[in-house]
Amino acid sequence: MDRTVQEDATYLAHQIATGAASADELLDDALARVAAFNPQLNAVVLLQEETARKAIKAGLPDGPLKGVPFLMKDLGAEAKDFPSHSGSNLLKDTVYSYDSAIYDRMRNTGVVTFGRTTSPEGGIGPVTESSVYGAPTRNPWNLSHTSGGSSGGSGAAVAAGIVPIAHGSDGGGSVRIPASSCGLFGFKATRARFPDGPASGEGWGGMAIDGFLSRSVRDNATMMDACAGPDAGAPYAAPAMEMSYSQAITRPPRRLRIALCDTTFTGEAIDPACQEAVHKTAKILADLGHHVTPACPKADHDGMMHAWTKIVACGTALWIENTLKSKGRDLQQGDIQGIARGALKYAGEISGAAYLAAVNKVHAYGRQMAAAFDGIDIILSATLAQPPALVGRFIHDREDYENYRVGPGGVFEYSPFCAAFNASGQPAASVPLHWTDDGLPVGVHLAAPFGDDATLIALCAELEQASPWAHQKPKMLADYLA
């Protein structure tokens, strides 16, 4: 029996603890599914089976997920034993001299890391189609569609049952977009909940944070508890939680005041399937006794997205220029893709004063979004304005970076909700509560005030109980299990 796709990571760790399964057996299962699914999905890269076997043999940390197979996103989570491409030919086969704080904390849960998952170059974009991997990453629910981005490889790997939980990161929706696209649970914690060191103090002006994609809420809660807290020298830290994530999900939250937004935050219509998902969720919440009222947050959403675009361009320019400096050479043909070239050029036209103005714009937006929670506890919307895009729609071969993000038909039209909460720093989650008539997942987005992660994850767990999703599996996985 193939155990890993039957239950979540918490269950598998219990199986190992009781002797019903071994870490080596579960790794065998995971590698078998990599062999079965990865030729179609292109989600898992840089396999390190020998490293994983050595870790098992040496004795795994006695953590809550001891022995569970695990994958890290090929962006960030620097680790000496796990080389990285970071989605770019320029960074191909980077070997690290240190272990990041987030990797240390993930490892201490006892997971067996055996490789990385695909990411778009520099983590930009709602799709995962980087040339360094030779092909796009595809969605297990329909191979013609994207698994999302930038944690698209992790989303595809978890949805296909290769692992029950995988590492991701989120600077503009990069955990929640693939969660929505792949029918998974994804949670973006309050700003600075997890460590960024030692390589940096913050990502993208504080808008980026690590996170996880999972099949169950409890797995995500366990991993976030293990990783929470600043590392030494962090420039700032998230407010202390009133209880841990794992404690929060053991009880329903108080009955909450929920603002229902079934359009974009600026009032434009969203796809009927996404609107249906929001209304269906609103009914579930109302039936549970929560108070649901139509309302959309009032803030300068368009101004925020233009500021976000500038900050991310400057972040892209920084890693490109630092890498070239370390290599002692100029940029060469094939080093980076079109969007990164466009971001580099765009950043070159942004003065220091303009960059700081963009940061100030994002900070002002955070205050506007804090005010948006006056009198309410949760903002409910779709995660994306449309079902998962076709592969190739947001291809990175184009160089019009600004238009790619905020122009007509661009990323902001497709994903108008997620980046709002990276800019505000508020916690937000995508919950898999709806599928289209043709079988594509549609996530529902929930957000809470700054620091109130406990209420948010408790609500997510209550929704999981009220409308379970664990039985939902892509056909390719169902056929594999048959």
> For residue 238, what are the domain limits?
9-481
Query: For residue 144, which phi and psi values (nearest 5 degrees)?
Result: -80, -10
Residue 1 lies in a domain: no
The set of residues, in sequence order, having a beta carbon less than 8 Å from that of 185 and lying 6+ positions away, is 179, 213, 214, 215, 216, 217, 220, 429, 430, 431, 432, 460, 464
Q: What residues are annotated to the active site?
A: 73, 150, 174
**Domain annotation covers residue 103:** yes
Model-level pTM greater than 0.95? Answer: yes
Other beta carbons within 10 Å of 283:
11
Residue pair 114/329 in contact by the 8 Å Cβ criterion:
no
Contact between residue 151 and residue 157 where contact means Cβ atoms under 8 Å apart = no
Residue 2 placed within a domain: no
- Measured CA distances, 231 to 109, 197, 287 (Å): 17, 6, 42
Asked if residue 438 is part of any domain, the answer here is: yes
Q: Domain tally for the chain?
A: 1
Query: Is 130 in contact with 337 (CB distance < 8 Å)?
Result: yes
CB of 429 within 8 A of CB of 464? no
Residue 404: CATH number of its domain: 3.90.1300.10
Per-residue pLDDT of the chain (482 residues; tens, 9 = 90+): 344 445 899 999 999 999 999 999 999 999 999 999 999 999 999 999 999 999 999 999 999 999 999 999 999 999 999 999 999 999 999 999 999 999 999 999 999 999 999 999 999 999 999 999 999 999 999 999 999 999 999 999 999 999 999 999 999 999 999 999 999 999 999 999 999 999 999 999 999 999 999 999 999 999 999 999 999 999 999 999 999 999 999 999 999 999 999 999 999 999 999 999 999 999 999 999 999 999 999 999 999 999 999 999 999 999 999 999 999 999 999 999 999 999 999 999 999 999 999 999 999 999 999 999 999 999 999 999 999 999 999 999 999 999 999 999 999 999 999 999 999 999 999 999 999 999 999 999 999 999 999 999 999 999 999 999 999 999 999 999 98
Report yes or no on 224 lying in a domain: yes
**How far apart, in whole angstroms, are the C-alpha atoms of residue 473 and residue 468?**
12
Does any domain span residue 41?
yes
DSSP secondary structure code for residue 239 in this structure: P
